[in-house]
Amino acid sequence: MSEVTSPAVAGPAAGTVLDRPVMSVDDVSVGFGPKTVLNGIGLPIERGSITALIGPTGCGKSTLLRSLNRMNDKIRGYWRRGRIELEGQDVADSSTDLLSLRRRVGMVFQRPNPFPMSIRDNVVAGVRAHGMASRSELTDVAERYLKEVSLWGAVADRLGDSPFRLSGGQQQLLCLARSLAVEPDVLLLDEPTSSLDPVTTEIVEDLLRNLVPDVTIVIVTHNLAQAKRVSNTTAFLYNGHLVEAGETSQIFDNPEQPETVSYIGGRIG
Amino acid sequence: MTVGATVSKTDTDLPTAAPSQSGGGGGGPDPGAHDPSGGGPAGPGAGQEKWWRGERLGPQVLRVVTHLPLIVLVLIMAALIWKAIPAIRYNGFGFFGRSVWNFGNLYAPILHTHGVAHPPGALYGALPLILGTIGSSAIAMVLALPVGVGTALVVVEKLPPRLSYGIGFCLEILAGVPSVVIGLWGFLTLGPFLMHHVATLWANHVPDVPVLRFFRGPTGNGQGLLTSGVILAMMIVPIIAATTRDLLRQVPRGTVEGAVALGMTDAEAANTVTIPWVRSGVIGASMLGLGRALGETIAVAMVSGVLVGSPIRSLYSAFSTIAATIVSQLDGAFTDASGLAVATLAELALVLLVITLLANVGARLLVRRVATTALPVGRGI
Ligand SMILES: Nc1ncnc2c1ncn2[C@@H]1O[C@H](COP(=O)(O)OP(=O)(O)OP(=O)(O)O)[C@@H](O)[C@H]1O
Ligand SMILES: [Mg+2]
């Protein structure tokens, strides 16, 4: 039912890393109670690449993304069939440690969600929880990641301040820094720039491009231009089905499925 | 309009501001008092002049109304001080250090000392009453805080909506039970049960050393410090639980998810997000409860054993609080023709008022400290 054109593209540094996809979604169906939201999705997520998930609202992009790091587990009625693997191991395996899975597969949300603690503590919250740095190193860690997301200049002199006094865009950069600080292998982003202005959006996109190939990125976006700008691979979801996935340039310039053609042409969604 | 102004004033006083709001102007003066446009919308056309005069009058009235609580407080204080003056002069500072309550010989001729009329042998000391007030409230807080917060956590996090609605309803009922009913139940049922079946589990096994000795001894007949503390806790739990429940429901889901998505355990996520988010509000609710406990009268009078003039020997001994003493001694005090006994009760009332005020100020400072250190400033930079 879902025609998956094998995405031959791997990240820019494809030759130097393992060729096996870092994550893979294999014939996955997902739903809540009696309702099926995703139907037999199959999608390899190539190491060091940026994968964009596109599709009209309600088609299941967030549900798929949240299944990758098991954020749906606690939602009433959630069920899943098929395999979702990280490095060849099913994320739902009893031998998979849920906490370390979520550390390795980080997530940035649509709306900035800083913690009620200082800016510095926000950045290192995960680092602390996982014991990844000693107390004395925390401020250095915070500085490194704030610099990485180009927020350092704005907050250097108020690391102890409340994050709630930052602008929405700055808060989102802070959340990005917080996710990066635990050194994830895969970063999932759910419409991360939908509330940001064009300049901050560009900062985020540049950052994402700089993160690969060390970090593999999956980004949900409604902004087709953004998908085109940043991603290597694009997957188009429609009504819970993966209609088409492949090299971004191919999906945008040469889509095979009629639904893809209409969506990209602006006729669906 | 005037009602609205007073309400908004109380709102800003309540330390339940969510963290996200604490960055803004939390403590701003109520806008109503200085806002002439609030004096009533100018009706179109007719009555222009009347409205205009109303607008001028409005702020004056509002100013008086908004200061009404303060005025009432000052008036009560002044009246109490006035009534208490003879007692203050007669009892001196020793009042706070003595453990004695003696009207004196009410049948003998009245004597005069320092210009104060008193029966011969009259001697008062409030130490056990002050300690009893603070002690019973402290026991109540120690019990009610974990139970109240725990109840709220279970209701919000664990229970299905229907059940949590039911429990919320029960909490509100419990909060509304008249204290005399709780007091009678404590006297008849809870107190005897506690002393005969619960306290006996440890009361005779505690080592006889300083401090711990306080928890040792005969558990008595069911009235005393422990029973009072438990009864007071039952009155506070609904206050803390209901407030905490409402606060927990306001914690943004997405922020908790952010913590979970970092690979935090549920406990770590609670520490990172939930607790800081609700902390200042919970402290505020606790202080509301503490105020209730400090001033609770009739229930404590029923289960304390009303022992007014002796030191508190153990957790199980009969004792009394300031409030319970005032109500239990008032009748007798009027038989003192010199008026000293009544004046002493006024002095006691004054002491209670000061304790309550101090607790309130302390709460305000604590909330402010927590709000500024936990939220905008963060832990230990
Ligand atoms: N907790 C839930 N319980 C029941 N149904 C759900 C739940 N979460 C999502 N759904 C359903 O799953 C479908 C897909 O939702 P999802 O949030 O994944 O869409 P989306 O593609 O991310 O949409 P958008 O672009 O608007 O974010 C929707 O029909 C939604 O109603
Ligand atoms: Mg979504």
pLDDT of residue B53: 59
Contact yes or no for B376 and A99 at CB 8 A: no
> Phi and psi of A47, rounded to 5°?
-60, 130
- pLDDT for B55: 61
pLDDT of residue B32: 36
Q: At CA A168, angle to CA A166 and CA A174, rounded to 5?
A: 65
- Whether B276 shows a pLDDT value over 60: the answer reads yes
For residues A68 and B201, give the distance between their C-alpha atoms in angstroms, rounded to a whole number. Answer: 53
Q: Atom of ligand 1 at shortest distance to CA of A72?
A: 1
- Whether the pLDDT of residue A79 is over 60: the answer is yes
Whether the predicted pLDDT of A6 surpasses 60: no
Q: Is B165 helix (H, G, I), strand (E, B) or coil?
A: helix
- List domains and CATH numbers for chain B: 129-370 (1.10.3720.10)
- ipTM value for the complex: 0.87
Q: Find chain B residues with C-beta within 8 A of A130's C-beta.
A: 263
Q: Taking 60 as the threshold, does the pLDDT of residue B21 lie above it?
A: no
pLDDT reading at B26 higher than 60? no
Choose among B263, B265, B374: nearest Cβ to A116. Answer: B374
User: Smallest CA–CA separation between A166 and chain B, in Å?
Assistant: 11
**In this structure, are residues A179 and A108 in contact, taking their beta carbons and an 8 Å threshold?**
yes
Choosing from A28, A36, A37, A71 the residue with most ligand 1 atoms within 8 A of its CB, the one to mutate for a pocket test is A37
Q: With contact defined as beta carbons under 8 Å apart, do A12 and A48 qualify?
A: yes
What number is the average pLDDT over the span A159-168? 89
Is residue A192 over pLDDT 80?
A: yes
Of A2, A9, A5, the C-alpha closest to A232 is: A9
Residue B96 has pLDDT above 90, yes or no: yes
Asked whether residue A267 carries a pLDDT value surpassing 50, the answer given is yes
pLDDT at B23: 36
Return all residues near A134 (Cβ < 8 A) that are at least 6 apart.
none
Residue closest to B137 by CA, chosen among B286, B294, B287, B289: B294
Name the residue at shortest CA distance from atom 6 of ligand 1: A32
Compute the average pLDDT of residues B310-315: 90
CA dist B202 and B213 (Å) reads 12
Residue A163 has pLDDT above 60, yes or no: yes
Q: What is the pLDDT of residue B37?
A: 40
pLDDT band at A10, cuts 50/70/90?
very low
Q: What is the mean pLDDT of residues A217-223?
A: 95
- For residue B269, the one-letter residue type is A
**Helix or strand holding residue B123 (H, E):** strand B123-124
Which residues of chain A make contact with B160, given a CB cutoff of 8 A?
none
> What is the spatial distance between Cα B185 and Cα B192, in angstroms, rounded to a whole number?
10
Residue whose CA lies nearest to ligand 1 atom number 30: A58
Question: For residue B204, which phi and psi values (nearest 5 degrees)?
Answer: -95, -5
Residue found under tokens 């009534």: B83
* pLDDT number for residue B42: 40
Alpha-carbon distance B35 to B4, whole Å? 13
Q: Is A38 in the pocket of ligand 1 (CB under 6 A)?
A: no
Interval A240-250 mean pLDDT: 92
Confidence of residue B11 (pLDDT cuts 50, 70, 90): very low
User: Residue B245: how many CA atoms within 13 Å on its side-chain side?
Assistant: 23
Domain ranges of chain A: 17-110+185-264
Of ligand 1's listed atoms, the one at least distance from the Cα of A60 is: 18
Instruction: Note the pLDDT of residue B209.
Output: 85
B276: contact with A, CB 8 A cutoff: yes
Residue B277's pLDDT band (cuts 50, 70, 90)? confident
* Secondary structure element (H or E) that encloses residue A235, with its range: strand A233-238
State the burial class of residue B215 (Cβ atoms within 10 Å of its Cβ: 0-12, 13-18, 19+).
middle
Four-CA torsion A246, A249, A252, A256, nearest 10 degrees: -50
Topology at the third CATH level for domain A17-110+185-264: Rossmann fold (3.40.50)
Task: State phi, psi for B206 to the nearest 5 degrees.
Answer: -75, 135
Question: In this structure, which residues have their CB less than 5 angstroms from ion ligand 2?
Answer: A 62
Per-chain mean pLDDT for chain B: 82
Return the amino acid letter for A154. A
- From ligand 1's centre to the CA of A180, what distance in Å? 26
Angle (CA) B218-B221-B225 rounded to 5° is 75
* pLDDT band at residue A12 using 50, 70 and 90 as cut-offs: very low
pLDDT at A137: 92
Measured in Å, residue B349 CA sits from the centre of ligand 2 at 61
What would the pLDDT profile of B43-93 be if each residue is shown by its tens digit?
444 445 555 555 666 777 888 888 888 899 899 999 999 999 999 999 999
Q: Could you report the per-residue pLDDT of B318-375, keeping only the tens digit for each?
A: 999 999 999 999 999 999 999 999 999 999 999 999 999 999 888 888 877 766 544 4
Give the model's pLDDT for residue B241.
93
Cβ atoms of A264 and A238 within 8 Å: the answer is no
Considering only A214-228, B140-154, B276-290, which range has the smallest mean pLDDT? B276-290
